[in-house]
A and B are shown apart, each in its own frame.
Chain A
Amino acid sequence: MRVKSESGLRFIAWQMLTGDRAKYFGLILAIAFSTFLMSHQMSIFVGLLDRTRSQIRDVRDASIWVMDPGTQYVDEVRAMSLSDLYRVRGVEGVEWAVPLLKGVARLKGADGTFRNSILLGVDDATLTGLPQRFLAGHWDALRAPKTVAVDRVGYAYFFGGPPYATGQEIELGPLVVRVGAVVDASPPFVNLPVVYARFSESVEMVGREPRQLSFILAKARPGVGESDLCARIRSATGLKALTSDEFGWDTIRYYIKNTGIPINFGITISIALLVGALVSGQTFSLFILENMKYFGALKAIGVTSMRIVGMIVMQALIVLAIGYSIGISLTALFFEVNKDSLDLRGFRLIPEVMLLAGGLIFVVVLMATILSVRRVVVDPALVFRG
């Protein structure tokens, strides 16, 4: 004798779940809150780490970064000489190689306000390394003498924009320069303004280590593998050569290993995970425990343990799906609303975080389900105990 259809039990499970609106919405809100907390904090963490390699990511034309062997990450460089650039250009398989200077320069506005800024000196001829999205002006403007491009943070600080315009004067180190373009640079780890100048002028703006450069950006000839070329450059010049991807990950690893910021953030995320897990797990567990006597009655009437587990799993999946959807939507909405905020640029919800948050909340609800279901499965006679 077999039961033909489970639709009757599904109806009972649905009614049990939604019958008490307050508990039903409480469950969904708990899962939504937990999902939001986890996905939001993980997104901030991932965004923060991603910011550490923003300048590497912004260089789209070159795919190989060459640097002094002692350089560990993008923000702490030991300068090389121009002769190193010529040696790299001579390596078989290099299509082209250009210099990039990375330093810190002081920006000073007309009203006397000043800020330290990240200065990137790009190749005079090709402007390789300049971001490709312009908010005002044109890349060609940088060819004029004493002309720079500033990012949104720098522009907002000194000129209060948007709307963005060009032509303003600003002191950059010992020089007075003109803003020729406003670019959409990726936000750096520390939210400093980013300024782009031609390499030949940037060495004057930094004012130290003249005629020296921070990185050499190179491109492999068609048909030459990037990793192979990196190995050739290392072998031929003794310099360190990495693909953009490798250098980006080296930078992220350096920050994780050597600074307390990601670790502290990691602890915050762990707490968010724990709070989220406790809130949603406890709420769902309480829901099942409150319904225990009804499940016990169903068991006594003749519903097998597996069918009862099926009912509870169905209830769990419903609140999980709705709660997760609301929570993840709230996170997406948060970053969408704040996407133009200068302080929150670059933070976004990525599919990996969506999956991880979904997986974690699924595990939490699953654990709560297993722990709660165990009682009705193991102790079926509880229904006769008043």
Chain B
Amino acid sequence: MEARDASAAVVCRGVKKAFGSGSTRLEVLRGVDLEARYGELTFLVGPSGSGKTTLLSIIAGLLQADGGSVQVLGQELGRLRNGEAALFRLHNIGFVFQQFNLIPALTAAENAAVPLLAAGWKRKEAVSKARELLEDLSMAHRADVLPNKLSGGEQQRVAFARALILSPRLVICDEPTSSLDGPTGRHVMELLRKAALSRERAVLIVTHDARILDFADRVAEISDGVIGRVRQAQGVQ
């Protein structure tokens, strides 16, 4: 029986993943060990092609690992069927994407309400709840605006609202500041720390933006498919 670490939302042990076969086979992950703990911002950093995106996709349950184990919120995602994994993601994991991926035809509030709509909420109630969340993120006055009229920082705040609206216990952010200028990026990170971080939630951030590393509680460096070292911020145990 596997030992479970109650303080870790994500536990990866010896995760392996390769693409292709024969002479074109490429080992992207070669035995990754990683933990993301509740109440912490865990950063996964590394150069392009180091395996960050692949690891993120495996943790999100969108890709299957070839070897090792991945435990997310105490659940082995690899053992879930596709439909079960999707529902697990919907109710337990919030996502913030690099390009925000807000649906252009939906207003800010409707975009933030997407997970609720996907969960079967009625539109009026879902949008109402999204408005409340946008208000917490100082976006109430932009709730009815389409994404193409929002600034990068505002779009990112809508993306945060979308990620948090179902109160997930894990938030995964893929390069959340790469499309933003320095001050906006830092502002967004402050907001993320304030809005997302709680004792019951872990935040895993993939980035290569050195400007925001000081927000991290823990930084895992990945290179050539393995975690090189893990640094902890001062005061983090």
Contact = CB atoms under 8 A, between A and B. Distances in A.
B87 interface: yes
Given A3-B119, A293-B99, A12 B114 contact: yes
Given A300-B62, A384-B97, A7 B106 contact: no
Given A5-B120, A5-B122, A15-B106, A298 B98 contact: no
Of B60, B110, B126, chain A has the most CB atoms within 10 Å of the CB of B60
Contact of A304 (B63, B83, B97, B117): B83
A209 to B, nearest CB: 75
Interface in B61-103: 62-63, 82-83, 86-91, 93, 95, 97-99, 101, 103
Interface of A is mostly: helix
Nearest to A3: B120
Nearest to B57: A381
Contact of A384 (B82, B89, B174): B174
A8 interface: yes
Interface in A1-53: 1-9, 11-12, 15-16, 18-20
Interface size class of A (residues with CB under 8 A): 35 or more
Contact of B121 (A8, A296, A297, A384): A8
B90 A303 contact: yes
A1 B87 contact: yes
A116 interface: no
Interface size class of B (residues with CB under 8 A): 35 or more
B106 to A, nearest CB: 6
A5 B57 CA distance: 27
Of B90, B110, B121, B122, chain A has the most CB atoms within 10 Å of the CB of B90
Interface in B112-149: 114-123, 126
B97 to A, nearest CB: 6
A385 B98 CA distance: 8
Interface string A173-205: 000000000000000000000000000000000
13 contacts: A8-B120, A12-B106, A294-B101, A294-B103, A296-B101, A300-B62, A301-B89, A301-B118, A304-B86, A304-B87, A306-B83, A380-B62, A385-B53
Interface of A: 1-9, 11-12, 15-16, 18-20, 293-294, 296-307, 380-381, 383-386
Interface of B: 53-54, 56-57, 60, 62-63, 82-83, 86-91, 93, 95, 97-99, 101, 103-106, 110, 114-123, 126, 162, 174-175
